[in-house]
Structure 1
Amino acid sequence: MRSLLPRATTRRLESSRRWLNRAVLTLLGWLPVGLSLVSAPAAEAAAPGEPPNIIFINADDLGYGDLGCYGQKRINTPAIDRMATQGLRFTDFYAGSTVCAPSRGVLMTGYHVGHARIRGNHKPDMPLAPEDVTVAEVLKDAGYTTAIIGKWGLGEVDSTGYPTRQGFDTFFGYQSQIEAHNFYPEFLHRDGAKQPLGNKLASFNVAEKRVDYSHDLFTEEALGFIEENKDRRFFLYLPYTIPHANNEGGRATGDGMEIPDHGDYASKDWPNPEKGRAAMISRLDSDVGKILAKLDDLDLSTKTIVFFTSDNGPHNEGNSKSTFFDSNGPLRGIKRDLYEGGIRVPMIVRWPGKVPAGKVSDYPWNMCDVLPTLAAIAGTPAPEGIDGISVLPELLGEKQPPHPPMYWEFHERGFSQAARIGKWKGVKRSIDGPIEIYDLDQDLGEEKNVADEYPQIVEQMSEYLHGARTADPNWPMKKPARKKKNPTKK
């Protein structure tokens, strides 16, 4: 068993603690009402009674506005909408990043992206390290059987980051996000070995054989895992790959929203990529329904807490446009933006008899809180020094301390930062650019930059953004590369 220590060195841990102390003192001492409510992490509560099974479902590129319970009008999501009536729906939950790999790294380790090992998508060969402590390790050490079924993206088979080296007893799915761009792969990974499938897709010709749609295989595998482990405590991490675009197939067919059929949307007068996007979301919804029905059938619903969320905001890929279904709802921005639409995502939690049913919470929290929250649910300590806090009290309808500041950074298109502190959102789109300030209580769509009206908030946000990250040579703060001009024709 590996020690439940943070992956940082002692020097880095002390640096992080010094930053936290400074930031909290700064915020408590200087900021006006609203920001003064920020507090340091409180002592973690434990779940009542016997620790439950845990299922964490993570959609891929599902937007804040893509579900009926979050305002979607044209895509049918009855199972997830019903899950919201049976549990607790959050309006202010945030992904760990605005793109895939770093968001999943935050989820696994409890570090926000300013302290995490993996902070972007453009270093696909960077895995988690042996000293990283994942939520799977924490739960495995607490007696859980652990599995990941779906998309990993934090280390390939010959690396230290492979899931079976990071606390998972079993793995079935894609080892990298690049592999996951093909929804009809010729193989998937099972515990370190390639499992051949029935697909032959070298050139994506329509005559080639496409029989095994990976998403369907994940649902089948998940249902089997639940059945097999019905008499033991389990943690199932189910990172689905839809409604991400199939970038491989889309290059050849012009339709990167690949799915076996368009279902209820086949007769719609919509472009095919939009039919595909809607069909993906409805297929995802149907399979979430199958997972919940399986728990009901096995009399496991009251013994299982289920989370449903997304890894980042909606995309403009695969020839599909997020505006077609208003996938970001009332929010500004999409995937790869640090505005709310890129990082605020759905979060629904169901645990009958424990989590209040039919409630809506505006408590702000994010993916780095998942590890300490699941640890508290399991009745085991989380690693020291991580950025997340347990939000179990909020899940149980109890008093939850205000959340500490939340931080994001993004390394594509140069370097940008964002933070939420109380009701205030700060966005810094470049190293030497100004800080934009938005009052999320009054301006959810981030339409009015009020930086000129609140210079003190700008000052405090600047102080926070400056101290919220640890320098890392792999993730330097840099300006975007200049585009080369075409040479003058002679």
Structure 2
Amino acid sequence: MIKTTWRATVVSFLLSVTLFPAEIKAQSVKPIVAPPNIIFILTDDLGYGDIGVFFQNQRKQNGNKAFPFQLSPNLDQMAASGAKFTHQYSNAPVCAPSRASFITGMNQGNAKVRDNQFDKQIEENHTIATMLKAAGYSTAAIGKWGLQGETKEEPNWPAHPSKRGFDQFFGYMRHADGHEHYPYEGLYRGEKQVWDNYTDVAAGLSKCYTTDLWTAYAKKWIVSHQRGEEAKNPFFMFLAYDAPHAVLELPTQAYPKGGGLKGGLQWKGKKGEMINTASGEIDTYVHPDYAWATYDDDQNAATPELAWPDTYKRYATANRRIDDAVGDLSQLLKDLNIADNTLIIFTSDNGPSIESYLPKGFAANSPEFFGSFGPFDGIKRDVWEGGLRMPTLASWPARIPGAKTISSASMLSDWMATFADAANIPAPARTDGVSLLPSLTGKGKQEQGQVYVEYTEGGRTPDFKSFEESRRGRKREQMQMIRIGDLVGVRYQIRSASDDFEIYNVVSDPKERRNLAIEPAYRQVQEKMKAKVLQNRRVDAEAPRPYDSTAVPAGVLLSKVMQPGLSWKFFKGNFPWVVSEKGRKFFKQGHATDLKSVPAFASKGMVLYEGYLKILKEGSYTFSLQTKGKAYVRLHEAELLDADFGYLPGKEIFTTVRLKAGYHPVKIYVSGEQGGPDKIMLKYKEAASDWSLLSNKNIYYVNKLL
């Protein structure tokens, strides 16, 4: 059913490109002739500080032997020829919700996978893959998934990657399988399953170290794509490494010399010899840069230096292996003459971890050894900067100038809108993110996105000496982080919506030392943050929060510029879904007394209604939506009602939200050439009261001419 839907969507979209090219294109930057290939490389628990250009090179240049360092020459080269993001955040400080937010473009205020919901089914809705398929892309997911749903339904999981837009999946389906880096031998955690779409092929993967395995398969898939009938289409690859997280196993041997089409890792396709490093001894190879490395453990130059503990040789080797893989893939793109128009993103899912499932006798993995959290405090499962700030790099030779640093704040969930912009296709209205193409290319105006995180965890921030004393061993429990401009608000052990945020300027104070919340000048910022975190999210019963029952604050408006009714904008185009207005130019605009009174248009497109719903008293309000087409509704920045992907025309859907008295901003996206009673009906009521339709009796718009 999904494949049929995608096929119809592709046909519809291709027709729309022919009919309305000026309206279909993303408006933020000038499109190039052909959409780029896209490779999104996601590592597991790699810290901001683990990469040379972000932090390790500083340790090396410092020359202090008390501070060991890692090397990442290929990633450093990627930064030199492309861009690095110094203020990009993961959507959550742990993998499942972070990855789900990336794939759906939804932040944790609206996402369906939150907290520690490993292996939870990612919702059947728009994903990066379904979106790019509609633009004609071939799609592949390789490596770790962990968002498939109930494992008892193996291999027909409800959210198998093929059911979420990917033509090909090769990798670990279950979250926990990613803790083991030899799927056949199961050196420390037991044998695992590797799925080639719906077939478990682990039995033929003897001595296959997963970083090598995923890289070799990725190269094979790209070569096959470029040499097959699909070569006329661009491709999107989600390459999700399960390293350096967990077991810290070592490869079998040195990375094969060369790289690209004829060198580096190669897929051999023979059982027991699937890749060209599936030989020799498993878990034995330490990179020579680290094998005999020493450090000044007691910071006393008069005493002998000690060899690095084996744990850190392993950690550094695992990271260097990923670096080698990036160089190998980059060379392949050059060999195939597709490097210039291939957009590569490299990043991580969350901050560095203390989780290292090693045998007895090995030292525990501590991110302090390399300073893997960079110039910040916090690790995986923290909403301090060290748990959320990601080492993100971008390369696109045709569009991104070299050695570019992007310091504006963004999130992993922004990549869906960015890829839509790059692929010249509109992003779904459901997407929370904004396109980062203006920042990457230097063309167009960069729209400010949202940076918001919520998460709960029963543990504590580690007792690291390098952390601020106030957060060593600090209980986590319910946590929140929001960024507004240069200011970040953080709450731990939240008990109610009235709890104060700690407030830090993370540009001038990245280690979050000076809590600005105690200063009277920041009282207004405090109240703004408390309001925004309620306005940015919807309640999720499967991820309960202590502020779920708190009424959402109203927006602040000047009454003299408010007029009864709604403003509307018409966006022309034969869109494949209800589209976001971000970065788009409208065709016509006006205002209306209600959803019935927008004039009909000869062209197909989308109408966006905007207004401020006047709530007379605080209470719980139920909203109802019914449409013959497709629609999407936001209240503040939260999803209110979704009648787009999979919606059955004419079905009435409901939701309830608690609101404070005042004016609440509403956006109503309606597909089709016009609004009207035959298209959409949106109504609401409080408790046992009667239903009310949105009209000039209860909704107002801002008249910018007054």
For the aligned pair, the TM-score class normalised by the smaller chain equals 0.7 to 0.9
CA distance 1:158–1:260, shift in 2 (3 Å): farther
The structure with the largest helix share of the pair is 1
Partner of 1:205: none
- Deviation sequence 1:248-273 (CA, Å, 0-9, x none): 99xxxxxxxx9542122222311111
1:211 paired to 2:207: yes
- Deviation sequence 1:348-369 (CA, Å, 0-9, x none): 1111131111111112111111
Partner of 1:461: 529
Question: Which is greater in Rg?
Answer: 2
Partner of 2:509: 443
1:144 paired to 2:137: yes
Partner of 2:47: 63
How many angstroms apart in 2 are the aligned matches of 1:47 and 1:407? Answer: 30
Q: Which moved more, 1:432-441 or 1:369-378?
A: 432-441
Partner of 1:452: 518
Question: What is the Cα deviation at residue 159 of structure 1?
Answer: 2.7
Question: What is the Cα deviation at residue 108 of structure 1?
Answer: 0.3
Secondary structure, aligned partner of 1:59: strand
Partner of 2:168: 170
TM superposition score normalised by structure 1? 0.82
Secondary structure, aligned partner of 1:301: coil
1:387 paired to 2:432: yes
Is the CA contact 2:119–2:175 (under 8 Å) kept in the aligned structure 1? no
Question: What is the Cα deviation at residue 213 of structure 1?
Answer: 1.1
What pairs with 1:325-364 in structure 2 (closer than 5 Å)? 325-364=370-409
Secondary structure, aligned partner of 2:181: coil
The structure with the largest strand share of the pair is 2
Secondary structure, aligned partner of 1:345: coil
CA distance 1:174–1:63, shift in 2 (3 Å): same
CA distance 1:149–1:356, shift in 2 (3 Å): same
How many angstroms apart in 1 are the aligned matches of 2:426 and 2:447? Answer: 21
CA distance 1:332–1:212, shift in 2 (3 Å): same
How many angstroms apart in 1 are the aligned matches of 2:5 and 2:87? Answer: 34
How many angstroms apart in 2 are the aligned matches of 1:305 and 1:362? Answer: 19
1:290 paired to 2:290: no
Q: Which moved more, 1:301-310 or 1:412-421?
A: 412-421
Partner of 2:106: 111
- Deviation sequence 1:173-224 (CA, Å, 0-9, x none): 011211111111133111012112356xxxxxxxxxx612122110000111
**Which of these residues, 54, 65, 89, is aligned with residue 38 of structure 2?**
54
Q: Percent identity?
A: 38
- Report the residue type matching 1:306 in the other structure: I
How many angstroms apart in 2 are the aligned matches of 1:271 and 1:134? Answer: 42
Question: What is the Cα deviation at residue 55 of structure 1?
Answer: 0.6
How many angstroms apart in 2 are the aligned matches of 1:244 and 1:360? Answer: 27
Q: Which moved more, 1:413-422 or 1:102-111?
A: 413-422
Is the CA contact 1:46–1:378 (under 8 Å) kept in the aligned structure 2? no
Partner of 1:374: 419
Partner of 1:262: 286
Q: Which moved more, 1:282-291 or 1:409-418?
A: 409-418
Question: What is the Cα deviation at residue 442 of structure 1?
Answer: 1.7
Question: What is the Cα deviation at residue 467 of structure 1?
Answer: 2.0
Question: Which ranges in structure 2 are unaligned for 5 or more consecutive residues?
Answer: 8-25, 61-68, 150-154, 185-192, 251-281, 294-306, 357-363, 459-476, 548-706
Partner of 1:120: 115
Is the CA contact 1:114–1:468 (under 8 Å) kept in the aligned structure 2? yes
1:195 paired to 2:193: no
Aligned length: 422
How many angstroms apart in 2 are the aligned matches of 1:181 and 1:98? Answer: 17
Partner of 1:224: 220
- Report the residue type matching 1:99 in the other structure: V
Question: What is the Cα deviation at residue 434 of structure 1?
Answer: 2.8
- Report the residue type matching 1:245 in the other structure: A
- Report the residue type matching 2:400 in the other structure: V
How many angstroms apart in 1 are the aligned matches of 2:174 and 2:284? Answer: 23
**Which of these residues, 69, 74, 77, is aligned with residue 79 of structure 1?**
74
CA distance 1:259–1:55, shift in 2 (3 Å): farther
Partner of 1:129: 123
Question: Which ranges in structure 1 are unaligned for 5 or more consecutive residues?
Answer: 5-41, 200-209, 250-257, 480-490
Question: What is the Cα deviation at residue 339 of structure 1?
Answer: 0.7
Secondary structure, aligned partner of 1:159: coil
Question: What is the Cα deviation at residue 60 of structure 1?
Answer: 0.9
Question: What is the Cα deviation at residue 404 of structure 1?
Answer: 3.3
Q: Which moved more, 1:46-55 or 1:220-229?
A: 46-55
How many angstroms apart in 2 are the aligned matches of 1:152 and 1:358? Answer: 32
**Which of these residues, 156, 159, 179, is aligned with residue 158 of structure 1?**
156
Question: What is the Cα deviation at residue 2 of structure 1?
Answer: 4.3
1:99 paired to 2:94: yes
TM superposition score normalised by structure 2? 0.58
CA distance 1:383–1:259, shift in 2 (3 Å): farther
How many angstroms apart in 2 are the aligned matches of 1:46 and 1:415? Answer: 43
- Report the residue type matching 1:345 in the other structure: M
Is the CA contact 2:96–2:119 (under 8 Å) kept in the aligned structure 1? no
CA distance 1:447–1:259, shift in 2 (3 Å): farther
Is the CA contact 1:96–1:366 (under 8 Å) kept in the aligned structure 2? yes
Is the CA contact 1:409–1:416 (under 8 Å) kept in the aligned structure 2? yes
Question: What is the Cα deviation at residue 124 of structure 1?
Answer: 2.9
